Protein backbone atom coordinates (compact mmCIF):
# COMPACT_ATOMS: atom_id res chain seq x y z
CA UNK A 1 0.00 0.00 0.00
CA UNK A 2 1.44 3.42 -0.98
CA UNK A 3 2.08 5.77 1.92
CA UNK A 4 0.19 9.09 1.75
CA UNK A 5 2.16 12.09 0.60
CA UNK A 6 2.50 14.82 3.21
CA UNK A 7 2.69 18.24 1.50
CA UNK A 8 5.96 20.12 2.02
CA UNK A 9 7.36 17.57 4.49
CA UNK A 10 8.78 15.37 1.76
CA UNK A 11 10.17 18.37 -0.15
CA UNK A 12 13.54 18.42 1.68
CA UNK A 13 14.17 14.79 0.68
CA UNK A 14 13.69 15.75 -2.96
CA UNK A 15 15.64 18.97 -2.78
CA UNK A 16 18.64 17.55 -0.91
CA UNK A 17 19.73 15.07 -3.64
CA UNK A 18 19.16 17.74 -6.23
CA UNK A 19 21.42 20.10 -4.32
CA UNK A 20 24.02 17.35 -4.03
CA UNK A 21 24.00 16.79 -7.75
CA UNK A 22 24.17 20.51 -8.35
CA UNK A 23 27.18 20.72 -6.02
CA UNK A 24 28.99 17.95 -7.88
CA UNK A 25 28.26 19.64 -11.19
CA UNK A 26 29.52 22.94 -9.83
CA UNK A 27 32.73 21.29 -8.57
CA UNK A 28 33.28 19.58 -11.92
CA UNK A 29 32.64 22.83 -13.75
CA UNK A 30 35.16 24.67 -11.56
CA UNK A 31 37.82 22.05 -12.21
CA UNK A 32 37.14 22.26 -15.94
CA UNK A 33 37.50 26.05 -15.88
CA UNK A 34 40.86 25.76 -14.07
CA UNK A 35 42.20 23.32 -16.65
CA UNK A 36 40.89 25.42 -19.55
CA UNK A 37 42.46 28.52 -18.05
CA UNK A 38 45.79 26.77 -17.71
CA UNK A 39 45.63 25.46 -21.25
CA UNK A 40 44.83 28.92 -22.62
CA UNK A 41 47.90 30.43 -20.91
CA UNK A 42 50.72 30.99 -23.42
CA UNK A 43 53.62 28.62 -22.59
CA UNK A 44 56.94 30.03 -21.45
CA UNK A 45 59.93 29.60 -23.74
CA UNK A 46 61.49 27.03 -21.46
CA UNK A 47 58.25 24.99 -21.41
CA UNK A 48 58.49 24.09 -25.08
CA UNK A 49 58.78 20.38 -25.41
CA UNK A 50 57.82 19.73 -21.77
CA UNK A 51 55.85 16.54 -21.10
CA UNK A 52 52.03 16.61 -20.92
CA UNK A 53 52.19 15.96 -17.16
CA UNK A 54 53.05 19.67 -16.68
CA UNK A 55 49.34 20.52 -16.83
CA UNK A 56 48.58 18.13 -13.97
CA UNK A 57 51.46 19.55 -11.97
CA UNK A 58 50.13 23.06 -12.45
CA UNK A 59 46.61 21.99 -11.40
CA UNK A 60 48.06 20.39 -8.29
CA UNK A 61 49.97 23.60 -7.54
CA UNK A 62 46.78 25.66 -7.83
CA UNK A 63 44.94 23.24 -5.52
CA UNK A 64 47.74 23.31 -2.93
CA UNK A 65 47.83 27.12 -3.01
CA UNK A 66 44.05 27.32 -2.51
CA UNK A 67 44.20 24.84 0.38
CA UNK A 68 46.99 26.82 2.05
CA UNK A 69 45.01 30.04 1.72
CA UNK A 70 41.93 28.39 3.30
CA UNK A 71 43.97 27.06 6.23
CA UNK A 72 45.57 30.47 6.78
CA UNK A 73 42.14 32.14 6.82
CA UNK A 74 40.82 29.58 9.31
CA UNK A 75 43.84 30.12 11.56
CA UNK A 76 43.29 33.89 11.49
CA UNK A 77 39.62 33.50 12.44
CA UNK A 78 40.54 31.10 15.25
CA UNK A 79 43.08 33.56 16.68
CA UNK A 80 40.54 36.40 16.80
CA UNK A 81 38.58 36.70 20.07
CA UNK A 82 34.97 35.53 19.86
CA UNK A 83 32.40 38.28 19.76
CA UNK A 84 30.59 38.79 23.08
CA UNK A 85 26.94 37.81 22.79
CA UNK A 86 24.65 40.38 24.37
CA UNK A 87 21.07 39.19 25.01
CA UNK A 88 18.41 41.23 23.29
CA UNK A 89 15.65 43.00 25.17
CA UNK A 90 13.23 40.24 24.18
CA UNK A 91 15.53 37.50 25.52
CA UNK A 92 16.01 39.40 28.80
CA UNK A 93 12.28 39.92 29.32
CA UNK A 94 10.42 38.07 32.06
CA UNK A 95 7.12 36.30 31.44
CA UNK A 96 4.74 37.41 34.18
CA UNK A 97 2.02 35.21 35.61
CA UNK A 98 -1.16 35.57 33.51
CA UNK A 99 -4.04 37.79 34.55
CA UNK A 100 -7.55 36.37 34.02
CA UNK A 101 -10.76 38.35 33.68
CA UNK A 102 -14.21 36.73 33.84
CA UNK A 103 -17.16 37.61 31.57
CA UNK A 104 -20.91 37.15 31.83
CA UNK A 105 -22.71 34.84 29.36
CA UNK A 106 -23.10 36.35 25.87
CA UNK A 107 -21.31 39.51 27.00
CA UNK A 108 -18.19 41.33 25.87
CA UNK A 109 -18.45 44.05 28.53
CA UNK A 110 -16.11 44.39 31.50
CA UNK A 111 -17.74 44.16 34.92
CA UNK A 112 -16.71 46.54 37.71
CA UNK A 113 -13.91 44.32 38.98
CA UNK A 114 -12.46 43.65 35.52
CA UNK A 115 -12.63 47.36 34.74
CA UNK A 116 -10.61 48.16 37.86
CA UNK A 117 -8.00 45.54 37.00
CA UNK A 118 -7.63 46.86 33.45
CA UNK A 119 -7.34 50.46 34.67
CA UNK A 120 -4.62 49.51 37.18
CA UNK A 121 -2.83 47.45 34.54
CA UNK A 122 -2.88 50.43 32.17
CA UNK A 123 -1.19 52.60 34.80
CA UNK A 124 1.50 49.97 35.28
CA UNK A 125 2.05 49.62 31.51
CA UNK A 126 2.44 53.38 31.14
CA UNK A 127 5.12 53.28 33.83
CA UNK A 128 6.86 50.35 32.09
CA UNK A 129 6.99 51.26 28.37
CA UNK A 130 9.23 48.31 27.47
CA UNK A 131 6.60 45.75 28.51
CA UNK A 132 4.26 44.23 25.94
CA UNK A 133 1.30 41.89 26.26
CA UNK A 134 -0.88 39.31 24.57
CA UNK A 135 -4.63 39.45 25.24
CA UNK A 136 -6.43 36.16 24.50
CA UNK A 137 -10.20 35.78 24.61
CA UNK A 138 -12.14 32.56 25.25
CA UNK A 139 -15.77 31.40 25.28
CA UNK A 140 -17.79 28.47 26.58
CA UNK A 141 -19.05 25.79 24.19
CA UNK A 142 -22.72 26.78 24.11
CA UNK A 143 -24.12 27.89 20.77
CA UNK A 144 -22.46 28.06 17.37
CA UNK A 145 -18.69 27.84 17.27
CA UNK A 146 -18.31 30.68 14.75
CA UNK A 147 -20.22 32.99 17.09
CA UNK A 148 -18.14 31.79 20.05
CA UNK A 149 -14.99 32.56 18.09
CA UNK A 150 -16.23 36.07 17.35
CA UNK A 151 -17.30 36.52 21.00
CA UNK A 152 -13.88 35.50 22.32
CA UNK A 153 -12.09 37.92 20.01
CA UNK A 154 -14.53 40.70 20.91
CA UNK A 155 -13.82 40.18 24.62
CA UNK A 156 -10.08 40.45 24.03
CA UNK A 157 -10.63 43.52 21.85
CA UNK A 158 -12.64 45.16 24.64
CA UNK A 159 -9.70 44.81 27.02
CA UNK A 160 -7.27 46.13 24.40
CA UNK A 161 -9.54 49.10 23.65
CA UNK A 162 -9.72 50.07 27.33
CA UNK A 163 -5.94 49.92 27.61
CA UNK A 164 -5.55 52.10 24.52
CA UNK A 165 -8.07 54.61 25.90
CA UNK A 166 -5.89 54.84 29.00
CA UNK A 167 -2.86 55.72 26.85
CA UNK A 168 -1.20 52.37 26.14
CA UNK A 169 0.20 52.18 22.60
CA UNK A 170 -1.81 49.74 20.48
CA UNK A 171 1.29 48.23 18.90
CA UNK A 172 2.27 46.83 22.30
CA UNK A 173 -0.85 44.67 22.39
CA UNK A 174 -1.53 41.43 20.50
CA UNK A 175 -5.21 40.39 20.44
CA UNK A 176 -6.31 36.80 19.86
CA UNK A 177 -9.60 34.90 20.05
CA UNK A 178 -9.83 31.13 20.56
CA UNK A 179 -13.57 30.56 20.87
CA UNK A 180 -14.21 27.40 22.90
CA UNK A 181 -11.17 25.58 21.50
CA UNK A 182 -8.93 26.07 24.55
CA UNK A 183 -11.15 25.20 27.54
CA UNK A 184 -10.06 25.37 31.16
CA UNK A 185 -8.84 21.93 32.23
CA UNK A 186 -11.10 20.20 34.73
CA UNK A 187 -14.10 22.45 34.02
CA UNK A 188 -17.16 21.59 31.96
CA UNK A 189 -17.51 23.12 28.51
CA UNK A 190 -20.29 25.42 29.74
CA UNK A 191 -18.60 26.39 33.03
CA UNK A 192 -18.42 30.11 33.66
CA UNK A 193 -14.63 29.91 33.90
CA UNK A 194 -14.53 29.28 30.15
CA UNK A 195 -15.78 32.82 29.51
CA UNK A 196 -12.55 34.65 30.14
CA UNK A 197 -9.74 36.83 28.86
CA UNK A 198 -6.16 35.88 29.69
CA UNK A 199 -3.53 38.64 29.67
CA UNK A 200 0.11 37.54 29.33
CA UNK A 201 2.80 40.16 29.97
CA UNK A 202 6.49 40.22 29.08
CA UNK A 203 8.47 42.87 30.93
CA UNK A 204 12.09 43.84 31.55
CA UNK A 205 11.43 45.56 34.88
CA UNK A 206 9.32 43.26 37.02
CA UNK A 207 5.63 42.39 36.89
CA UNK A 208 2.40 44.04 38.13
CA UNK A 209 2.44 41.99 41.35
CA UNK A 210 -0.47 43.85 42.92
CA UNK A 211 -2.66 42.33 40.19
CA UNK A 212 -1.02 38.93 39.99
CA UNK A 213 -1.34 38.19 43.70
CA UNK A 214 -5.07 38.85 43.89
CA UNK A 215 -6.40 35.30 43.53
CA UNK A 216 -6.72 35.33 39.76
CA UNK A 217 -8.31 38.79 39.94
CA UNK A 218 -11.75 37.43 40.84
CA UNK A 219 -13.91 39.21 43.45
What does the alpha-carbon distance between residue 199 and residue 209 come to, in Å, rounded to a whole number?
Answer: 14
Q: State which of 65-69, 94-98, 177-181 shows the largest mean pLDDT.
A: 177-181
Which of 182, 184, 133 shows the shortest CA–CA distance to 162?
A: 133
Return the domain boundaries, the chain: 12-40+54-73, 89-217
What CATH code would you report for 89-217? 3.30.1330.60
pLDDT at 172 exceeding the cut of 60: yes
**Band of the pLDDT at 206, cuts 50, 70, 90?**
confident
What is the chain's mean pLDDT, rounded? 71
What pLDDT, in 10s, does the model give residues 123-144? 999 999 999 999 999 999 999 9
Amino acid sequence: MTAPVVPFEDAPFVVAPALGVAGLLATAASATLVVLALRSTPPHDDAVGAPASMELDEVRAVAVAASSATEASAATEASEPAARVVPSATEAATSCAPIELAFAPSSTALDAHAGTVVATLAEWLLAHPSADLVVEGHADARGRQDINLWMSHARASTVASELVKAGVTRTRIVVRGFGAYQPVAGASETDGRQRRVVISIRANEGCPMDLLNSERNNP
